[in-house]
Amino acid sequence: MTTIMNQPPQDHQTYDRKKEVHEFEETKLGVKGLVDSGITELPRIFHHPPENRIPVPDLNSDSDSDPIPVIDLLGTPREEAVEKVKEACTKYGFFQIVNHGVPVSLLRRLVDAIKAFHEQPAEVRKEYYDRGTSTGCNYFSNVDLFVSKAASWRDTLQMRLGPSIIDVEAIPAICRNEILEWDKEVKQLGELLLGLFSEGLGTSIDRLKELSCLESRVMVGHYYPHCPEPEKTVGITSHADPVIFTALLQDQVGGLQVKHEDKWVDVKPIPGALVINVGDLLQIISNGKYNSVDHRVYANPLQDPRVSIAVFFNPGNREDTYGPLPELVSPEEPALYQEFKLSEFLTRFFTKELDGKSLVNFFRLKSE
């Protein structure tokens, strides 16, 4: 059977997206498999419409300023840290943290370990390729592959870390120790951040922790290999995260962009830093005091692959009901969002393509 790896270019009249998507999926090798095959032109399934493509910036230019705040988390007095985090969550939806307590040596080892997983021989990677979540560990390309209009140039190793961690033996040996160490560290960091978020809202320090917002943790290890035609596709399309917050470790390759004041700005890598962003669910719980924002990644034009590791924090009980915190609602500041079960919220996200902030807008109460 002719596969997507050696298929000749097809014009619009003969292009069968559904067929080609399934052929790509059947290889179980992701975009790394396409790169290893030596392709020089992108398969049609990766061609985004011109309006959705991401211009690759001049990587040799330092002229563009990065407005995303950088907060010295443990080197700043508590009250000042609360105010800085509050301002970042309100105005930017993103910030970077340094002096955060996670050993920088672990961060380096984690990036190397995730990179090593994605660069294992094809037959080894294929053993983990699965879109199911029964084992709590799976490898795939594009979470929205079958519902998106065009695929993005990345592969992902996904791991469930909470409420209960998966069977340790299900974690690939090549990155097992680093992932287990990272989970312990990021859980402690998450508790610290939830406290800062809560205080910034004027609630008790444990308010968000009491909602079990520390319990459900999912880790993804994204791999963005060199793209031969980055101007035709994206690394990940514009979206907001359907979570309380995300803690992201990115390597020094770069590629992450955030929408700020209607412009796309680069989140420039800082050695040893972590990127934190507000998720849609925290925007809703805070009744709009904090804001999630659109972000995206351009297709990697460099020979070196880009690696990023994100941990998504969410409440542990999917059948609980969530909405604006009652203490943040008043006649002067009425609720902006309806209440819903977390399961409904997440199901809606995972059954559509990534498309900006459509999720949080769906649950917004209509003004009369």
How does pLDDT run along the chain (368 residues), one tens digit per residue?
334 544 444 444 578 999 999 999 999 999 999 999 999 999 999 999 999 999 988 766 665 568 999 999 999 999 999 999 999 999 999 999 999 999 999 999 999 999 999 999 999 999 999 987 777 999 999 999 998 999 999 999 999 998 877 889 999 999 999 999 999 999 999 999 999 999 999 999 999 999 999 999 999 999 999 999 999 999 999 999 999 999 999 999 999 999 999 999 999 999 999 999 999 999 999 999 999 999 999 999 999 999 999 999 999 988 889 999 999 999 999 999 999 998 888 888 766 656 666 678 888 987 53
How confident is the model at residue 352, as a pLDDT?
64
How are beta strands 137-140 and 155-160 bridged, if at all?
A: antiparallel
How confident is the model at residue 66, as a pLDDT?
81
How confident is the model at residue 167, as a pLDDT?
87
DSSP bridge partners of 276: 95, 247
DSSP character string of 105-135: HHHHHHHHHHHHHHTS-HHHHHTTB-S--SS
Q: Which residue has the tokens 């999917």?
A: 318
Phi first, then psi: give them for residue 288, nearest 5 degrees.
85, 5
Angle (CA) 102-187-164 rounded to 5° is 140
Does the reported pTM lie above 0.85? yes
How confident is the model at residue 102, as a pLDDT?
98
Contact 95, 70 (CB under 8 A): yes
CATH of 17-50+63-362, one of 2.60.40.1190, 3.40.50.2300, 2.60.120.330, 3.20.20.70: 2.60.120.330
Count Cβ atoms within 10 A of the Cβ of residue 292 and give its class: 0-12 exposed, 13-18 middle, 19 or more buried.
buried
Alpha-carbon gap, residue 313 to 213, rounded angstroms = 6
Structure tokens at 299: 């297709």
Q: Which amino acid is at 228?
A: P
Of the candidates 242, 211, 212, the one whose C-alpha atom is nearest the C-alpha of residue 324 is 211
Task: Please confirm whether the linkage preceding 163 is cis (ω < 30° from 0).
Answer: yes
Secondary structure letter of residue 206 according to DSSP: T
